Amino acid sequence: MLRSIEQMMRLYGSSMVLVNSTGEHSVRAFLQETHSRSLDGIRRDIAALGEVPKGIYVYIGPASPAAQKGDLLYFMDKTYEFRRTEQVTAADQQLYCWGLCARKGDHTWGS
């Protein structure tokens, strides 16, 4: 399963730079803003890992290097700050990193 996820990120992910305590790392990952124009978008979204506020970006990236709260992500001339991260595992193996990011300097979601 890990190879399939890594291949999907390599083929379909975008090039980004993750900056954490160990330095700068080039990664291929997915970043998607959470928004909806339907009536359901007016209601708060509750996902398995908690509430997903609007104006927040969902990150799916490699298990290593893993993003941590406070790390920075550079993508398409914009800077994002990780506000929450989780390691997704299966069969005792880390498969990928899931995270929520906000544009750096955007204070619509409390730190």
pTM of the complete model: 0.77
- DSSP label at 4? H
Beta bridge partners of 14: 29
Exposed, middle or buried, 53 (CB in 10 Å: 0-12/13-18/19+)? middle
The three-class DSSP label of residue 70 is coil
Each residue of 37-65: pLDDT tens digit? 444 444 455 566 565 555 689 999 999 99
Positions of the chain with pLDDT under 70: 35-55, 106-111
The three-class DSSP label of residue 104 is coil
Residues 97 and 1: their CA atoms lie apart, in Å, by 14
